[in-house]
Amino acid sequence: MQHLTYQTLDGSRAALSPDALDAFSGGIRGGVLTAAEADYEQARRVWNGMVDRHPALIARCLGAQDVRHAVDFARTHRMLVSVRSGGHHIAGNAVADGGLMIDLSTMRTVRVDPETRTARVGAGALLGDFDHEAQAFGLATPLGINSTTGVAGLCLGGGFGWLTRQYGLTIDNLLSADVVTADGQLHVVSATQEPELFWAIRGGSGNFGVVTSFEFRLHPVGPQVYAGLVVYPFAQARQVLQAWRDFTADAPRELSVWAVLRQAPPLPFLPDSIHGKEVVVFPLLYNGAPEEGERLAARVLEFGDPVGSMLGTQPYAGFQTAFDPLLVPGARNYWKSHNFVAISDELIDAVIDAASSLPGPECESFIAQLGGALGDAAETDTAYAGRDANFVMNVHGRWQDAADDDRVRDWARQVFRDTAPFATGGGYVNFLTEDEGNRVDSAYAQNYARLQQLKQRFDPDNLFRMNPNITPVAHARTA
């Protein structure tokens, strides 16, 4: 049996003996995959089809002890390591070429305690898993908007969605977590137990260890909420976006209304004549009395003359899956993102210009309405920075053919440049692409220096570097 070559932390290649591989595999209950295994190809694939990397090993962990064993192995052999939960991050950080993938995707248990309104969530759980269990009791916590996203990656970067204005970020509802640090030790962290590490993982992405389990606070949500879409013709874009901006300025926290500029998909409530044409879409969700949601949605219907709408009372868990068909895995994706405090007329014009030159039918720009409970915490209360942002824009390039790579990425980058004068200069780390490592320090703003100190303490060799990377202080001084 041949030696297995792998990528080291310093970028060189090294070899692993068959005996060492056997000993490692024996300590992983879910098994270890190499390129020779039948399941390897599927296991290495992630959501972004542009990511085509080949790990040397994939450790399929079933619990914290498997993770500890994998981390010890990677550290001992100075092996490049990545961590996969949902595999949704745009940069494809779940996969390290030639490295060890610590695969948490089977750790999907969600246990809800309706009396304490808390949930214990495994590191491989997807948003849909969490919502399915919590909604059985009319409970939820703020998550994202695509049910196939992994809870772990979403949470570690901050996490926002339809409930953020009412209940804060995902990390604002994190009560405790189990974390395996680079030395292979398991830490149980909370506001009172190892609070520095707890502070760091709330927004610090995967820089400080592998979180194997999360405990979340839950809130009364649904199960029925008032939600849906209002669609306007592109000719009315400036009018309706200005109306949306003015309306959201004093909207209640229970209501979230986002703005999306894209080509109309063939939705059944839209006339055939608008399919494939540029439109402005306002998705909205109100978590409260349905009659109040209907009253507020009526104001969105008055922004202009809509070409179609689909509004009403529906299951919260169902609305959480509403955009899944537009975000199926395997397509090629490239994002650019900005935070905004306010939406100016000039910014609206720039966004409209971008939508008038969409490079493909799956490309879009969306602006998420935030504010509300997001700003209740101070900038330094968690590692996440950007609580002054009332809006986050994601320029979403999405396409199928590799021949279009340059064209779509050039479009996204141009939109980013055109809208930069109106942005805060910060960013949302879950939206940072592989080529945006230079934005990490600005994304964390005043929290970055403290994060570097904690990185030096918990991961001085930067073992966990497949992420929006925070360099340890010692590394930064020698760079």
Q: Is there a single domain that holds both residue 44 and residue 190?
A: no
d(CA 198, CA 381): 11
d(CA 371, CA 167): 11
Residue whose structure tokens are 């493909």: 360
Domain count, the chain: 3
Contact 174, 213 (CB under 8 A): no
Residue 31 lies in a domain: yes
Residue at a domain's end among 103, 120, 152: 103
d(CA 427, CA 339): 6
Residue 45 lies in a domain: yes
> Tens place of pLDDT for every residue, the chain, 479 residues?
689 999 999 999 999 999 999 999 999 999 999 999 999 999 999 999 999 999 999 999 999 999 999 999 999 999 999 999 999 999 999 999 999 999 999 999 999 999 999 999 999 999 999 999 999 999 999 999 999 999 999 999 999 999 999 999 999 999 999 999 999 999 999 999 999 999 999 999 999 999 999 999 999 999 999 999 999 999 999 999 999 999 999 999 999 999 999 999 999 999 999 999 999 999 999 999 999 999 999 999 999 999 999 999 999 999 999 999 999 999 999 999 999 999 999 999 999 999 999 999 999 999 999 999 999 999 999 999 999 999 999 999 999 999 999 999 999 999 999 999 999 999 999 999 999 999 999 999 999 999 999 999 999 999 999 999 999 987 656 55
Which amino acid belongs to residue 361? P
Residue 455 lies in a domain: no
Q: Is there a single domain that holds both residue 390 and residue 280?
A: yes
Residue 467 lies in a domain: no
Q: Is there a single domain that holds both residue 85 and residue 216?
A: no
Residue 479 lies in a domain: no
Q: Of 285, 202, 259, 203, whose CA–CA distance to 391 is shortest?
A: 259
Residue 42 lies in a domain: yes
Residue 442 lies in a domain: no
Q: Is there a single domain that holds both residue 308 and residue 426?
A: yes
d(CA 177, CA 174): 8
Residue whose structure tokens are 């009403």: 312
d(CA 470, CA 157): 13
In terms of residue numbers, what domain contains 212? 110-220
Is residue 324 classed as helix, strand or coil in its secondary structure? helix
Distance of alpha carbon 270 from its chain centroid, rounded?
30
pTM: 0.96
The H-or-E segment that residue 261 falls in is strand 259-263
For position 406, which CATH number holds?
3.40.462.20
Q: Is there a single domain that holds both residue 184 and residue 256?
A: no
Q: Is there a single domain that holds both residue 259 and residue 164?
A: no
Q: Is there a single domain that holds both residue 279 and residue 385?
A: yes
Residue 478 lies in a domain: no
Residue at a domain's end among 220, 242, 275: 220
Q: Is there a single domain that holds both residue 216 and residue 239?
A: no
Residue 72, both tokens: 């010890």
d(CA 102, CA 71): 8
For position 38, which CATH number holds?
3.30.43.10
Q: Is there a single domain that holds both residue 247 and residue 361?
A: yes
Q: Is there a single domain that holds both residue 247 and residue 323?
A: yes
Residue 142, both tokens: 């703020």
Q: Is there a single domain that holds both residue 165 and residue 84?
A: no
Is residue 124 classed as helix, strand or coil in its secondary structure? coil
Contact 339, 423 (CB under 8 A): yes
Q: What angle do CA 310, 312, 316 make, to 5 degrees?
A: 105
Residue at a domain's end among 103, 126, 151: 103
Contact 369, 391 (CB under 8 A): yes
Q: Phi and psi dihedrals of 333, rounded to 5?
A: -135, 140
Q: Is there a single domain that holds both residue 229 and residue 356?
A: yes
For position 180, which CATH number holds?
3.30.465.10
